[in-house]
């Protein structure tokens, strides 16, 4: 591994509010309850007209929950899930309190997504009409330009929350909503904002299901991360949000560090030695000012594809002691793509707050190529620091360290 200079420790950022909505249910408690009971949210694929033979993590109720009339300009499945997630755990009230306290212009909005509202664009092309000039065109109801862009999510959430600070969309595949924490930390450090709403949303659509299937990455079974017989991922959908600010008297949870890297190796395959993953984890630990042995729980990217899990496990084994409790939670939710970073950061925060360290659902026989840090069973213990790995196509790597205020 090439030697590089490590970043200096960063000032911690308070996390006064956080929430997630996944196939496990709506809000933080639904996630914690399912993790504790080892109750997964995956089901046989029932999405779309010609459903693939696979398993998915689907959020119930989206089809029956259109956006309020005042938001119909942004109507689509992805923004419905964003609105649903925002309504959980008092998040809208917490945003309103922060907005009034520091000013709407001083709260940044940084959101991650992989496909944004592409499902609505698919529907628009499926329903093309012939115009007066004989050319194909979108049906009138589909002529909402902002919905057919990657920034659909950010534009919607900005209007829904009344925030008027810097508004950024991060689209780096599966690391998108982990990188939002790093982007927000830089905006606050640069003095461009005093606080930030970060998050991510991705919903199931044909492009995702058939796209990953065309790469041979989708399993016909519920995914089994780090299992010796794993053969592919299960796709899911989710939305989640968290608030970040320099100080908050009532908050004990903190973002302590982040690390980012680029493999520059392959469009869809990680570096075989996990060099980028190790750089990201090492930088996150350095910014947090801690050693690898100080981490009590690591939420692994753990997609259940043969190559990715083995590479990540090797990178983890090169940095962390055997005593680390590391796991993948994708057996509960599926791989939620651009929302994976925020959802699995929420799981890391739950581990910190509740002492609930998830294992790895559905997996039974550990792959001997994976290190002793990967755990299949849950554990309960008080920890001081938790970490999350999110690695995306193109070698977009991001690791985050969370801790509790002293």
121 close to 148: Cβ distance less than 8 angstroms: yes
Tokens 């090439």 correspond to 2
Q: How far apart are CA 404 and CA 15, in angstroms?
A: 10
Q: How far apart are CA 355 and CA 334, in angstroms?
A: 23
Q: Which active-site residues does the annotation give?
A: 174, 301, 335
Q: How far apart are CA 204 and CA 48, in angstroms?
A: 9
Nearest to 392, CA basis, from 321, 312, 338, 334 = 338
Token pair, residue 234, equals 């299960």
Alpha helices in 265-339 (DSSP H): 275-288, 306-319, 330-333
Reduce the DSSP state of residue 237 to 3 states and report it: coil
Beta bridge partners of 254: 14, 403
DSSP code at position 377: S
Tokens 């190796």 correspond to 265
Burial 83-94 (b: 16+ CB within 10 A, else e): bbbbebbebbeb
């Amino acid at each position: 591994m090439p030697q590089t200079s490590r970043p200096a420790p960063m000032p911690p950022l308070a996390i006064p509010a956080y929430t997630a909505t996944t196939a496990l249910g709506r809000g933080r408690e639904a996630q914690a309850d399912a993790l504790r009971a080892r109750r997964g949210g995956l089901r046989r694929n029932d999405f779309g007209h010609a459903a693939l033979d696979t398993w998915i993590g689907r959020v119930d109720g989206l089809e029956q929950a259109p956006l309020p009339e005042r938001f119909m300009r942004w109507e689509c499945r992805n923004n419905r899930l964003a609105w649903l997630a925002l309504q959980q755990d008092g998040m809208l009230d917490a945003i309103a309190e922060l907005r009034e306290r520091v000013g709407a212009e001083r709260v940044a909005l940084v959101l991650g997504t992989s496909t944004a509202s592409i499902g609505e664009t698919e529907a628009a092309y499926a329903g093309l009409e012939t115009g007066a000039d004989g050319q194909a065109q979108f049906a009138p109801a589909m002529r909402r330009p902002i919905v057919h862009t990657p920034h659909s999510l950010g534009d919607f959430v900005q209007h829904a929350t009344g925030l008027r600070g810097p508004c950024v969309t991060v689209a780096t595949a599966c690391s998108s909503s982990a990188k939002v924490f790093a982007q927000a930390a830089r905006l606050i450090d640069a003095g461009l904002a005093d606080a930030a709403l970060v998050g991510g949303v991705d919903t199931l659509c044909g492009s995702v299901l058939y796209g990953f299937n065309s790469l041979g990455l989708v399993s016909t079974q519920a995914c089994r991360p780090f299992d010796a017989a794993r053969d592919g991922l299960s796709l899911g959908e989710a939305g989640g949000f968290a608030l970040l600010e320099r100080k908050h008297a009532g908050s004990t949870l903190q973002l302590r560090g982040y690390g980012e890297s680029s493999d520059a190796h392959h469009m869809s395959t990680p570096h075989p030695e996990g060099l980028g993953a190790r750089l990201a984890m090492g930088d996150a630990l350095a910014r947090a000012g801690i050693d690898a042995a100080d981490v009590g729980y690591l939420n692994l990217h753990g997609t259940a594809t043969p190559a990715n899990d083995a590479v990540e496990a090797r990178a983890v084994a090169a940095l962390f002691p055997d005593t680390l409790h590391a796991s993948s939670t994708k057996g509960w939710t599926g791989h939620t793509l651009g929302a994976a970073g925020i959802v699995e950061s929420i799981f890391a925060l739950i581990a910190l707050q509740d002492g609930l360290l998830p294992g790895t659902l559905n997996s039974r026989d550990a792959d001997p190529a994976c290190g002793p840090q990967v755990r299949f069973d849950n554990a309960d213990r008080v920890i001081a620091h938790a970490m999350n790995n999110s690695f995306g196509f193109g070698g977009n790597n991001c690791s985050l360290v969370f801790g509790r205020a002293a």
